[in-house]
Amino acid sequence: MREHFLSSSVEEWGETFAVNTTAMWHLSGAFLPLLQKSVYGGNIILISSINGVHWSASSCTPSYAASKAAANHLTKVMANKLRGLYIRVNTIAPGMFPSEMNDEESVKRWEENGTVKRIPAGRLGTAEEMGSAAVFLATNGYVDGQVLVVDGGRSLTASGS
């Protein structure tokens, strides 16, 4: 959904939130009974986006950024509500990674317009780096209610571009 917020419908806005925020709440709730049975406590790891932390007009729509920011806040609310049940909730907010959403055409455009060069790491992220972030959140029992930004330092240099 690459719409301008003034031209988007209420239905389009709602669809974006349903996919990016409400689905996280529903899925987490569906697994809650199973997580409560764990002797060691449960662990929920959600996936959001750097666009929920730092919005870039050139990279996403207002509804996408707002829905991801809401998902990031949902992480903190859920972690607070589930703390007495020993269920941790954290989120990974990835930056620029190749994916189904970020296809070869998108990656080529980022390389051509200099976006990749503005990432301090000098490259896009890898699946292994996303996996490492998830393993960290899954194994570190002292991290709860956090949004882990995995963006190669892009949010350090992004200034609304």
Does the annotation mark 48 as catalytic? yes
pTM summary value: 0.88
Domains identified in the chain, total number: 1
Q: 110-120 burial string, b = 16+ CB within 10 Å, else e?
A: beeeebbebbe
Residue 1 lies in a domain: no
pLDDT value, residue 1: 43
- Catalytic residue, from 49, 59, 64, 67: name it: 64
pLDDT value, residue 159: 58
Residue 36 lies in a domain: yes
Does the annotation mark 99 as catalytic? no
Residue 3 lies in a domain: no
pLDDT value, residue 156: 86
Domain extent, residue 65, equals 10-152
Residue 4 lies in a domain: no
Residue 160 lies in a domain: no
pLDDT value, residue 4: 58
Residue 120 lies in a domain: yes
> Which candidate, 95, 155, 100, 158, places its Cα nearest to that of 130?
95
Q: What is the pLDDT along the chain (161 residues), one digit of tens a residue?
A: 445 556 678 898 999 999 999 999 999 999 999 999 988 889 999 999 999 998 766 667 888 899 999 999 999 999 999 999 999 999 999 999 988 888 889 889 888 988 899 899 999 999 999 999 999 999 988 999 999 999 999 988 875 54
pLDDT value, residue 24: 97
pLDDT value, residue 81: 97
Answer for the pair 46, 24: CB distance below 8 angstroms, yes or no. yes
Q: What is the CATH number for 19?
A: 3.40.50.720
- Catalytic residue, from 48, 49, 59, 63: name it: 48
Answer for the pair 46, 71: CB distance below 8 angstroms, yes or no. yes
Residue 107 lies in a domain: yes
Does the annotation mark 68 as catalytic? yes
Residue 159 lies in a domain: no
